[in-house]
Amino acid sequence: MPWILPGSATKPRFLSIRRFYTFTFGDTPISALGANFDATVMTPFTGQVLATFTNGVPSSPARRFTAFINWGDNVTNSGVIVAGAGGWKEVHGSHTYTHGGDYPIYVTIRSSVGASATVLSTATVSPPSLLTVLANGHGTFYPALSGQSLQIGKDYSIIAKAAPGFRFVCWTSNLDGPLTDAATLTFVMKASLVLTANFADVTRPTLIIKEPRAGQTSATRSSAPPAPPRQRRRRLGSLSAQQRPLDQCHGHYLLVRLPQPGAGTNFFTAYAVDAGTNSPPPTPSGSSTS
């Protein structure tokens, strides 16, 4: 309301009062939580969750926020904001550590209106660990993970395949013992892990009697009285055998020592059992005549 000041009757003077108001518009505060994780030296990772946050407005779009990451090893870059559940949002980052250790990661989140928050996360970086895969028996495995540097704590899969004449039995490890009898093994990488694929020999050996031949007459003379007109038959007792190497491709041969034959016709039957407990059918009875 104007005030009338003293003046002439025809020209009154008025005094106006002005008031100034300042209005400040801003975002609601950002609340953030850090996220700790494991990594491996010289193993790149992408899309790793570093922090989750909210500004209390579930409908605020992710594009209105930015994130700046200090990885703790003198490397900085920008993060990616991804909408999460319940109005929360996530900060994803990608990086590669060149040395092991625990690294503090500072994630600074800013809104387009001006609110900001900084949260601390931690990366535990382990040196790479070599996996050793062995075969007990004849067989292969794939993929070729043996001798590879694998990330500790990460899941991997490997498949065993038996060679002809062999059967896959089970997977074992130096840390956990028997693992599974399935050919496909899914395992969690651990430091100094050694896996063994076990194969069993299922090939039946071949047995051929070469000496003496059936009906062969012994040249050894005996002081025993001659056999009666009707031949006597007797079975030989236990045989003593000595296994000798033949060559790498054909296995072994047996040098069998027969007991002293008696008068008449002596019969024997031979069989073999290999290291895999495989046995061929018994050979036809051999005989020798004294």
Question: Is there a domain that residue 13 lies in?
Answer: no
140 shares its domain with 178: yes
10 Å Cβ neighbour count for 168? 20
Q: What pLDDT does 128 receive?
A: 78
138 shares its domain with 193: yes
Question: Is there a domain that residue 8 lies in?
Answer: no
185 shares its domain with 197: yes
Q: What pLDDT does 103 receive?
A: 97
Please list the residues that pair with 68 across neighbouring strands. 78, 108
- Six-digit token pair at 86? 């319940």
Counted domains in the chain:
3
180 shares its domain with 245: no
Q: What pLDDT does 248 receive?
A: 36
Listed in sequence order, the DSSP H helices in the chain are none
Task: Decide: helix, strand or coil at residue 132.
Answer: strand
- Among 149, 175, 201, give the residue marking a domain's end: 201
Question: Is there a domain that residue 135 lies in?
Answer: yes
Question: Is there a domain that residue 14 lies in?
Answer: no
Q: Which domain holds residue 230?
A: 216-289
CA of 102: how far to CAs of 16, 37, 94, 108, 122, in Å?
Answer: 68, 10, 17, 19, 7
Q: What pLDDT does 202 receive?
A: 84
Question: Is there a domain that residue 167 lies in?
Answer: yes
- Mean pLDDT in order along the chain per 10 residues (290 residues): 54 64 68 92 91 90 95 96 91 94 96 92 89 94 91 90 93 92 94 93 72 60 44 42 42 55 66 62 54
157 shares its domain with 229: no
- Among 167, 201, 235, give the residue marking a domain's end: 201
Q: What pLDDT does 127 receive?
A: 82
Question: Is there a domain that residue 11 lies in?
Answer: no
Question: Is there a domain that residue 59 lies in?
Answer: yes
Question: Based on the number of CB atoms within 10 Å of its own CB, is 119 exposed (0-12), middle (13-18) or buried (19 or more)?
Answer: buried
> Is the pTM above the cut of 0.95?
no
